[in-house]
Amino acid sequence: MADTPERATDASGTTDAAPSPPAYTAREMMAIAAGRFIADGDVLFAGTGVAMLAATVAKRIHAPHAHIFFETGGIGPQLDELPMAVADPRVMAYADLNAGLVEAFSYVANRRLHTIAFLGAAQIDRYGNMNSTVIGDYDHPTVRFSGSGGACDAGSLASGFIVFMQHGTRKFVEKLDYLTTPGWLEGGESRRHAGYRRGGPLAVVTNLCVLRFRKDTKAMYLAERFPGVTVEEIVANTGFVLDVEGAGVAKPPTAEELRILRDDVDPQRLILG
């Protein structure tokens, strides 16, 4: 599964990020900020947790003609209820079609489609490479996570991917303990030289900000901080030297975006917390 350890249930980002009305939580801001990356008509590959929320929000608000699919084989479901895992039967209800993993990955990798994956991980580095396997030595890990699931596949094969992370120095690290999902690898042209024809991370959405990657070096930079969050706070929570040149401020969620997210997408607050 293209999910991340911890993130799905991590409640540390749910404090209010801004005093200005309407009040909203960091997780709500994350879901809405990520949804804004989606263009109408895109084909979206969603993992579990906030990723699923963002894909659902994108479809309801920003991109009604986007198509959501899941690696389990649920292709274009209606998503009347929020799934809690990519194998939740809610990813198959009233779908375009139901199949299996071979079919799902043939859409992830399909050359005709512009597929965007929503992923997460335990660690990320400045080039958007991610770890969802272990903390510590691989042979004797101090912490074991779920493993790749489909995250490495989506990172390898999709047209691009968007990452969700809680911001913190243990998550934004200089060096990954294990490289599960390929980002821009060592930056520059290294991803292409490794044998990839397309893809790579487009943005990282955290509880504090939106980060993107410079066109030439492929290094991460601060694109937009969320309202009420300072640049210093973001830098202090990043375990590598972060490029903050030219950073702007994200537009806060509108009342309508929040209403759809809360009332239609996750009324039981299964993922919003």
In angstroms, rounded to a whole number, what is the distance separating the alpha carbons of residues 136 and 153? 23
* Contacts of other proteins in 50-79 (CB under 8 A): 71-74
Residue type, 69: F
Q: Which of 42, 88, 125, 257 binds other proteins (CB under 8 A)?
A: 88
The reply on whether position 115 binds other proteins by CB under 8 A is no
> Considering the complex, what minimum distance in angstroms separates the CB of residue 106 from other proteins?
10
Q: Which stretch binds other proteins (CB under 8 A): 59-67, 104-112, 206-214, 240-248?
A: 104-112
Q: Which of 20, 64, 94, 169 binds other proteins (CB under 8 A)?
A: 94
56 contacts 79 by C-beta, under 8 angstroms: yes
Residue type, 100: G
H or E element that contains 255: helix 255-259
Question: Which residue in 6, 71, 224, 257 is the catalytic one?
Answer: 71
60, with CB counted inside 10 A (0-12, 13-18, 19+), is middle
Annotated active-site residue 71? The verdict is: yes
CB atoms within 10 A of CB 180: 24
In angstroms, rounded to a whole number, what is the distance separating the alpha carbons of residues 214 and 204? 13
Q: Please, which residue, 52 or 229, has the CB nearer to other proteins?
A: 52
The reply on whether position 190 binds other proteins by CB under 8 A is yes
> Considering the complex, what minimum distance in angstroms separates the CB of residue 161 from other proteins?
13
The reply on whether position 113 binds other proteins by CB under 8 A is no
The reply on whether position 140 binds other proteins by CB under 8 A is yes
203 contacts 147 by C-beta, under 8 angstroms: no
The reply on whether position 180 binds other proteins by CB under 8 A is yes
| Number of residues located near other proteins, criterion CB under 8 A | 71
145 contacts 122 by C-beta, under 8 angstroms: yes
Strands 97-98 and 134-137, bridge-based pairing = unpaired
* Contacts of other proteins in 201-260 (CB under 8 A): none
Q: Please, which residue, 86 or 219, has the CB nearer to other proteins?
A: 86
In angstroms, rounded to a whole number, what is the distance separating the alpha carbons of residues 184 and 200? 6
In angstroms, rounded to a whole number, what is the distance separating the alpha carbons of residues 54 and 74? 17
The reply on whether position 159 binds other proteins by CB under 8 A is no
144 contacts 193 by C-beta, under 8 angstroms: no
Q: Which of 34, 50, 68, 86 binds other proteins (CB under 8 A)?
A: 86
The reply on whether position 133 binds other proteins by CB under 8 A is yes
The reply on whether position 196 binds other proteins by CB under 8 A is yes
Nearest to 107 by CA among 77, 79, 70: 70
Q: Which stretch binds other proteins (CB under 8 A): 35-43, 187-195, 205-213, 252-260?
A: 187-195
Q: Which stretch binds other proteins (CB under 8 A): 22-30, 53-61, 137-145, 164-172?
A: 137-145
Residue written as token pair 């990043």: 238
Q: What positions carry a catalytic annotation?
A: 71
